[in-house]
């Protein structure tokens, strides 16, 4: 029997979705799968987008790019779809027509695409702080190396976390690879998960990885 891959995220479903959100999941989501991208232009990927606040910021700030958001939590996907679509017509708003959504484990998507990204964002990934759960941490050396194969020339992986032990752990993981990284002071990127600040730290720390 083939070993099952360790899951790096928690639950897939939260509270019951509204009728509108269920309709969006059934009717809009399939049309904006990244599998439907016909022409590879400038691509940006965000992994684990939560409710999609930063995905929408990326779509607004990079209107000439295609933004792929990956998130396995159905309620987060539904929240992003709801924000992307007109409340009356349920059509995607013009400013969000460059967003594509992968509603599942990003590793499955990456293994089945040859797309290259100029930016790959991972903001506030689950730190799995308990020692027995450390193996569930997404940003291992192997995963970061795989991510780097999907960077275009000059591309960057941008990681942000308010969990400083996880930050140090990620840096140690990178040191075991051939990747280059820096830890700059970036302007704070606001998301719902940052506002929760479960780690109780003063501000997020950031890591930028290049090949």
Q: Identify the H or E element spanning 106.
A: helix 106-111
In angstroms, rounded to a whole number, what is the distance separating the alpha carbons of residues 126 and 186? Answer: 20
Closest CA to 138 of 106, 164, 162, 112: 106
Catalytic entry in 64, 105, 126, 142? 126
182-207 in b/e form (b: 16+ CB < 10 A) is: eeeeeeebebebbeeeebeeeebbbb
In angstroms, rounded to a whole number, what is the distance separating the alpha carbons of residues 172 and 176? Answer: 7
Active site residue 142: no
Q: Which residues are catalytic?
A: 126
């Amino acid at each position: 029997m083939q070993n099952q891959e360790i899951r790096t995220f928690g639950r897939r479903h939260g509270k019951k979705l509204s009728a509108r959100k269920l309709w969006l999941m059934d009717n809009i989501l399939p049309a904006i799968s990244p599998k439907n991208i016909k022409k590879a232009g400038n691509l940006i990927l965000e992994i684990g987008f939560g409710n999609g606040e930063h995905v929408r910021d990326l779509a607004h700030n990079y209107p000439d790019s295609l933004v792929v958001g990956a998130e396995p939590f159905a309620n987060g996907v539904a929240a992003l779809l709801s924000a992307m679509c007109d409340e009356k017509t349920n059509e995607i708003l013009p400013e969000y027509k460059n967003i594509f959504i992968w509603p599942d484990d990003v590793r499955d998507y990456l293994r089945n695409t040859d797309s290259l990204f100029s930016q790959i964002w991972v903001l506030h990934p689950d730190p799995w702080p308990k020692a027995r759960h450390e193996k569930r941490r997404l940003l291992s050396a192997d995963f970061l190396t795989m991510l780097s194969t999907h960077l275009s020339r000059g591309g960057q992986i941008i990681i942000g976390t308010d969990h400083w032990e996880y930050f140090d752990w990620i840096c140690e993981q990178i040191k075991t690879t051939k990747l280059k990284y820096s830890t700059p002071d970036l302007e704070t990127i606001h998301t719902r998960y940052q506002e929760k600040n479960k780690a109780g730290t003063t501000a997020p720390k950031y890591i930028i990885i290049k090949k």
